[in-house]
Amino acid sequence: MVVPGDILSSPLPHSLPLAAGDLTRPLAHRGGLVVSAGQFIAHAQALAAELPAGDAVVNLCDDRYAFLLGFAAALIAGRTTLLPPSRAPQAVAEILARHPGAVALSDRALDPPPPSLFVARAFARPVQAFASCTSVPRIAAALTAVIGYTSGSTGLPHAQGKTWGALNASNAGNQALFDAALGPRFNILATVPPQHMYGLELSVLLPLLGAAAVDAGRPFLPADIAAALAALPAPRLLVATPVHLRALLDAGVTLRCEAITSATAPLDPRLAAAIETVSGAPLLEVFGSTETCVIAARRPAQDVLWTPYRGVQVLPQPDGMRVDAPQLAEPVILADVIELAADGRFRLAGRAVDLIEIAGKRASLGDLTQRLLAIPGVSDAAVVQLERADAAGVRRIAAAVVAPGLDEAAILAALRDMVDPVFLPRPLRRVDALPRSATGKLPRATLLELLGS
């Protein structure tokens, strides 16, 4: 068996196992049943035998166990899993067009059906029908296991390929983080889709490559999340986003878990502290990207600085930050601006694309958003710099704000005490909700369209 430490300290083997641990360990919870690693692999092998010809699979399964099956089956068959930036029909069609011969894999019929939709018979077979396999398949380390796409929050999505060896290396950091918080055996409930890289890392790779087991569902409403957590055995890890955590806090539900993690957007330290108070669990924020996978973590209720994972080095650059990590074949430049501490930890100072200058003064769109969210009564907000300049040649700031009990004037009055007048949003528009994705992302084009309307 390959353990996380081996991935970082020894040369990468030509092949690596599909799953870690013994075949009797729990790997998933589904419909009140506990699925062992051996049963899961046997189920995945049956699905792999059904896959039609081709070299890639767009995994559209909504059920997390079905997604795991599809992901594992693709690996067994030597196929690449494609992760579209969303499951919207147009986004899926665009990915399929980029990869001729790829098949769209789903555990149910879809309306409208994407091109080359395949619903395998193995999805309908109950897991109890499968006897545990007797050996763990090995996957070529050089196989491109997934191709993810950046979210498009700052522009067009870009493809990012990850080999099976790279995913094993990146998982080692996450494994070490949560082993320290929970021990090696824990149970995962995730509110984020497995098609997102954060969801893939923490609700697919952790159960496959460690000793964790994952719940098959993806509860959405706060009461459903709380009930699903309570039904899982301890210790439990809740994988969420700032949007989901704010909704849980506002709903006042009881969170029975032993650790929480958040990603996809900056987490307000006050929200983190409030969540820790109501749950009694540490909240660990992880930092990464589709390009790099997770590379650092912190506990925002206590720490401003991020601690890089073992083997990860970050360096400030004029246009962002340089990242060296065990899972990267070569350094990657991210648009995040950092301040490096003497001990190797770092502080995020915003994104290069978020830094703006008006009238010789500088600010960060991310910081302006956080200041809006700090106003009592504001539950969600997004700030953007407009594309077109005004008559004075200035590209103004605009904001969309969710604040049911406040009007625009009250919000601006509160914000005026926090920021320089040149950075007051004009316009500031109060909306019922922001059209965020399942992971809380809000692409720039979507926000501009909302403000333009």
SS3 of 8-60: the string is HHCCCCCEEECCCCCCCCEEEEECCEEEEHHHHHHHHHHHHHHCCCCCEEEEC
Among 352, 356, 412, smallest CA distance to 381 is for 412
- Coil, helix or strand at residue 368: helix
Among 263, 148, 244, smallest CA distance to 195 is for 148
> Which residue stretches of the chain have pLDDT < 50?
1-7, 9, 153-155
Going along the chain from its start, the domains and CATH numbers come out as: 4-348 (3.40.50.12780), 359-452 (3.30.300.30)
128-144 burial code (b ≥16 CB/10 A, e <16): eebeebeebbbbbbebb
**Dist. CA 392–CA 82, nearest whole Å:** 46
For 205, 254, 265, 289, the CA distances from 151, given in Å and listed in that order, are: 20, 32, 12, 10
Longest C-alpha distance within the chain, in Å? 73
pLDDT, tens digit, for every residue of 45-93?
999 999 998 889 999 998 999 999 999 999 999 999 999 877 778 888 8
- Coil, helix or strand at residue 76: helix
- Quote the pLDDT of residue 149: 82
**Dist. CA 290–CA 161, nearest whole Å:** 9
DSSP codes joined into one string, 379-404: -EEEEEE-SS--TTS---EEEEEE-T
- Quote the pLDDT of residue 418: 81
Placement of tokens 């890289």 in the chain: 197
**Dist. CA 160–CA 327, nearest whole Å:** 13
- Quote the pLDDT of residue 9: 47
Axis-axis angle for helices 242-251, 269-279 (nearest 10): 50
**Dist. CA 264–CA 309, nearest whole Å:** 18
**Dist. CA 328–CA 334, nearest whole Å:** 13
234, 240, 244, 247: CA torsion to nearest 10: 30
- Quote the pLDDT of residue 6: 43
**Dist. CA 265–CA 251, nearest whole Å:** 21
- Quote the pLDDT of residue 359: 60
**Dist. CA 66–CA 71, nearest whole Å:** 9
- Quote the pLDDT of residue 211: 94
